[in-house]
Amino acid sequence: MSDTPRSIDLSIEVPGTPEEVWRAIATGPGISSWYVPHRVEERAGGAASASFGPGPEMEVPGRVAAWEPPHRVVFDDGEGAGGLAFEWLVEAKDGGSCVVRLVNTGFGDGGEWDDQYDDLQEGWKLFLLNLRLHLEHFRGREAASAQPVGMWQVDSQTAWDTAAGALGIPSTIAVGDRLDLDSGDGARLAGTVADVAERRIALLLDTPAAGTGFVVAEGHGPSCLSVWAYLYGDDRDTLAADLAAGWERWLTAHAPAPA
């Protein structure tokens, strides 16, 4: 076994000035517009928290361990707490773009850590894609998110095949195609396909509002089937709440029986 600690090290080029990109990766409203709801006290040593679902038990507290605008911010669990740390670096490029680099450290050893490492690496690729879409199409604006997740007692490929079949997502779907996903009780996600990967599709939405949307199957053992949306505009909070409720019902109704 290597003595070198494991880390996730990912980069993506995004449009915007360092100041615009900084707002997206280092402030509560910015991070909430492409990841999960965040609160950030904007200073070194300030409090930070991330909400991964309804209820206080799903809120994860943390700390702003470094604050160097507009080029470097680090979030961790607090001084001496150990655990995962997330360093974000912004480098300006010619032509009005920046490279955003994420270095995620603090992983332990063993099977459970192996699964978490793999899941986080794939998850960060999805969220970095959404960061790029946010900065390309909605820079400077704030989104409200709908993030329903179904914990399905099947492997992730079976979960994807089940969802794709029920929603009418063709296996030949490609970037630029039009896709309209309907929960059956009024919760729709419709727009243009922005990205396609294994067990994942991303949309640039126009229905129920301008925004981004994702259908993703991931995880080990029990899988997570996610139908997420980030909505912009004056009615974003109401629309996101209605969308979350509709897709939560869909996820419950369509969960496959365990193999």
The residue among 136 and 59 whose pLDDT is bigger is: 136
Domain 8-137 has CATH 3.30.530.20: yes
User: Cβ(218)–Cβ(122) under 8 Å?
Assistant: yes
Q: How far apart are CA 123 and CA 118, in angstroms?
A: 9
Q: What is the pLDDT of residue 242?
A: 96
Domain boundaries 144-253, corresponding CATH code:
3.30.530.20
How crowded is the C-beta side of 249, counted as CA atoms within 13 Å?
12
For residue 197, name the pLDDT band (cuts at 50, 70, 90): very high
For residue 2, name the pLDDT band (cuts at 50, 70, 90): very low
User: Cβ(247)–Cβ(146) under 8 Å?
Assistant: yes
CA distances from 148 to 49, 65, 131, 145, 237 (A): 19, 30, 19, 10, 15
Residue 1 has pLDDT above 50, yes or no: no
Q: What is the pLDDT of residue 115?
A: 76
Strongest mean pLDDT among 46-55, 108-117, 170-179: 170-179
Place of tokens 């019902």: 249
Which residue type does 200 have?
Answer: R
Q: What is the pLDDT of residues 173-195, one digit of tens each?
A: 999 999 999 999 889 999 999 99
Average pLDDT of the chain, as a whole number: 93
Q: If we measure between CA atoms, which residue out of 100, 102, 223 comes closest to residue 157?
A: 223
Q: How far apart are CA 201 and CA 102, in angstroms?
A: 22
CA 146 to chain centre: 11
Q: What is the pLDDT of residues 6-26, one digit of tens each?
A: 899 999 999 999 999 999 999
Q: Which residues make up the CATH 3.30.530.20 domain(s) of the chain? A: 8-137, 144-253
Q: What is the pLDDT of residues 123-153, one digit of tens each?
A: 999 999 999 999 999 999 999 999 999 999 9
Q: How far apart are CA 190 and CA 210, in angstroms?
A: 10
Q: What is the pLDDT of residues 78-92, one digit of tens each?
A: 877 678 999 999 999
Q: What is the pLDDT of residue 83?
A: 84
Residue 240 has pLDDT above 50, yes or no: yes
Residue 249 has pLDDT above 80, yes or no: yes
- Apex 213 CA angle, 148 and 17, nearest 5: 120
The order of strands in the sheet holding 38-40 is: 8-15, 97-105, 85-93, 72-76, 59-68, 47-51, 38-40
Find the distance separating the first CA and the last CA of the chain, reported in whole Å. 35
Q: What is the pLDDT of residue 111?
A: 67
